[in-house]
Amino acid sequence: MSYPRYALVFLAVALGAAWAIRLLEAQFDTALGSAAHLMVPAMIGALVEGQQHARTHKARPGTAAVWRFTWVATVIAVVLNVGLAYGAGRFAPEFGKLAVAPVGSRQFGLLLALYAGGCLICNRVFLGIGAGNQLSLMRSRGEIE
Q: Quote the pTM value.
A: 0.88
Q: Quick one: which of 23, 126, 25, 42 has its CA closest to 84?
A: 42
pLDDT along the chain (145 residues), means of 10: 95 87 82 73 96 95 96 96 80 70 86 91 96 95 85
CA distance 36 to 96: 14
